[in-house]
Amino acid sequence: MMRIDILTLFPNMFTGVFNESILKKAQEKKAVSLNVINFRDFADNKHKTVDDYPYGGGAGMVLKPQPIFDAVAHVTKDSERPRIILLCPQGERYTQKKAEELAKEDHLVLICGHYEGYDERIREYLVTDEISIGDYVLTGGELGAMVIVDSVVRLLPGVLGNEASPVHDSFSSGLLEHPHYTRPADFRGMKVPDVLLSGNHRLIEEWREKQSLKRTFLRRPDLLENYPLTEKQKRWIEEWKKEEQ
């Protein structure tokens, strides 16, 4: 069973997210243990302060190293090789590939910052990874931690009903996912493509491959820069380029 510890100043933010839908079911199935810890409880001063003014002056407050170091020591005392992740705008941009990498770990510790930033010694001496969920700034790391937990847990064995589901997700193959349709076949004059009703699995797979590639070509061409295109896929792209012209 994977263990994920989240260190935060606002543990109540996680209550609804962790007790609904797939994350709730994953815990019931014993696929993951989700633990939310208030690192303010580890502050060694009588006022339980976790931040202080930055040396050298400047705006805002900085998280002190002591409470976070001690909180991490507490949750990792029985763990051999935990991944200790700092949620930070300066970190590596989060991707599906990173989610797949983290899903192979036994123990993750997510540190949710607040205020102006972290004491640099937390970055330098404590964490193994720094992750950003995008090129924007949030009020804290809690929402980023929720994103990481959700994206990782759904990849754990047995969590999703259909084991093939995560394999065909957008980004898992390097491309965006193909379109999906369900009943009815004709909804107010809007019809499902005939190929999906044909029963010909070879043609259906080729249609899905082509639609996946086309959606990526039109919406996220940057994903194709290092993608190993087949000759057939290259021909499709050339056809679409001619159509654009």
- Tell me the binding residues for S-adenosyl-L-methionine: 113, 133-138
Please indicate whether residue 20 is annotated as part of the active site.
no
Please indicate whether residue 101 is annotated as part of the active site.
no
- Candidates 100, 116, 150, 177; catalytic one: 116
Please indicate whether residue 89 is annotated as part of the active site.
yes
Please indicate whether residue 194 is annotated as part of the active site.
no
- Candidates 11, 82, 142, 154; catalytic one: 154
- Candidates 100, 150, 169, 177; catalytic one: 169
- Candidates 89, 100, 123, 150; catalytic one: 89
Spatial distance between the Cα atoms of 140 and 113, rounded to a whole number of angstroms:
5
Indicate the annotated binding residues. 113, 133-138
Q: What own/partner pairs with CB < 8 Å and gap ≥ 24 does 141-144 have?
A: 141/8, 141/86, 141/87, 141/88, 141/110, 141/111, 141/112, 141/113, 141/114, 142/8, 142/10, 142/13, 142/14, 142/112, 144/87, 144/94, 144/112
The set of catalytic residues is 89, 116, 154, 169
